Amino acid sequence: MMNRYIKIILFCLPIALVTSSCDKDFETINQNPNSPTSVPSDLLIADIVRVAANQNYSSFVGMDMGACWSQQLSKVQYNDEERYGPRVNVIQGVWNTYYEAVIADAKTMYDLAVVEENTASQGVALTLQAYGYLMLTDMYGDIPFSESILAPTGNVTPAYDTQEAVYDGALQMLTDASALLAAGGSINGSADIMYGGSVSNWNKFANSLKFRALMRISGVRNVAAELQALVSAGNMFTSNADEAKLVYLAASPNANPIYETVVFGTRLEYKLNQTLVDKLSTDGDPRLAVYVAPNADGIYRGKPAGISDVPSNDWGYDNVSGIGAAYLDPTAPGYFMSYAQLELLKAEAAVKGYISGNAATYFENGVNASMAANGLTDVVSASSVTLKDIAEQEWIALFCQGIESWVEQRRTGFPVLAPAQDGFINAIPSRYTYPTGEQSLNATSYQAAVARQGEDRLTTKMWWNK
């Protein structure tokens, strides 16, 4: 985020020196009527959505520091990240991408939509901003929020807000977004690569995302009334057709990043983790054959997390199962939030007494939605469910949604995971460390955040998970 503003200043300075000597009417004389000075707000949707999805599904983030940490995936080579040794440049890149290409661009979209008086576009922009802030705070902890984007030149030393304050702000954004989306307006269908211009589906996403955010903090705050209000209003996902996802295209560079990495990039070291393979096998879960490709011997075999001495005869490329073909398809969707996850969160909320409704029914809806999303017709029924049952099914349903599976496993504690073997630290990371750029360019704010929330370590707990 800081680098962006420095680049802007360095770029604009020589221009200002040159133009200051020009005639004062130069801009008026040289306007090109065929080159608009601004674009319709909704044309920004495509890039924001694509950038966010690509970041979430990228190999170094969604796979290494997401699915490997939640022990869905494992690696038979080049596995420092799986062993909790993330790359400094990747941590910096996640921070920059979300602030510069998701949050800042969504703020620009919102400002344009205000001028246009397009309430629907304003609602989409607020939803995407809230999504970006929630992702960042769940990855890093305290982050810049109230001072993160200040026009016109930005703020290179923004204060960090507490995680609680970021959640408060993001939840308010989603509340406001829902009201704006319900008020009408239109969205360019060709620019909206998420929903094809469906304002009602964007509203469902805003409210479903709000439900997920409230459940994330439900262990440290009484959110029952807010959750029940969302359920009673009924304006959330009701089927797989409503869920928030980007359907990728068949050809690079617009294909699913997992395909881009494993197939197009021939990065065959990405394999299945033993924890997931054993769970699916033990349960007789039909998703096993979808998630997991047989190894060279025709069996499903996962690798334990970690192990520094790879590849080896025991855990080599041919001995461990790879990712199933459906998840290596270039057109496989990139999820922002699924209907299956919403229903399983509702099941948890019902068991805990936060909302009305039958927990077993919500559970069935969630698992069956996951089955259907994987091309299966198996129907699951349950008379009663436990929190463990629900959390483990959510973890399974979040396969290859790396960051989200890692975040939710941290929150629920299920499945119970042992740290990676041969790890650089002896615990599964709770967060990303802050970018090194923040430590030098924004040292005062960085130090205040660390003093407040705890040491800048991978193992420092989140506010909602202490």
**For residue 37, what pLDDT is reported?**
59
Percent of the chain exceeding pLDDT 70 equals: 91
pLDDT at site 378: 86
- Give the C-alpha separation, 307 to 294, whole Å: 21
Q: Collect contacts of 288-293 with beta carbons under 8 A, ≥24 apart.
A: 289/324, 290/324, 290/326, 290/327, 290/374, 290/375, 290/376, 291/323, 291/324, 291/327, 291/374, 291/399, 292/321, 292/322, 292/323, 292/324, 293/321, 293/322, 293/323, 293/324, 293/325
How far, in Å, CA of 448 to CA of 387, rounded? Answer: 37
DSSP at 150: -
Stretches in the chain below the pLDDT threshold 50: 1-29, 33-35, 151-152
Helix (H, G, I), strand (E, B) or coil at 306: strand
Q: How far apart are CA 345 and CA 362, in angstroms?
A: 8
Closest listed residue to residue 85, CA positions, set 408, 320, 308? 308
Amino acid at the residue 33: P
Check residue 308 and give its pLDDT.
86
| C-alpha pair distances (Å), 386 with each of 5, 346, 350, 452 | 49, 13, 11, 35
Q: Residue 154's pLDDT is what?
A: 64
Looking at residue 10, its pLDDT comes to 37
Residue 174's H or E segment, with its range, is helix 163-182
One-letter amino acid at 250 equals A
Which residues does 207 contact at the CB level (< 8 Å), separation at least 6? 174, 178, 230, 233, 235, 236
Mode of pairing for the β-strands spanning 73-75 and 270-272: antiparallel
**234 token code pair:** 């009924």
Q: What's the pTM?
A: 0.92
Q: Which residues are 247's β-sheet partners?
A: 333
- Give the model's pLDDT for residue 294: 98
Which residues, at least 6 apart from 60, have a Cβ–Cβ distance to it below 8 Å? 81, 87, 90
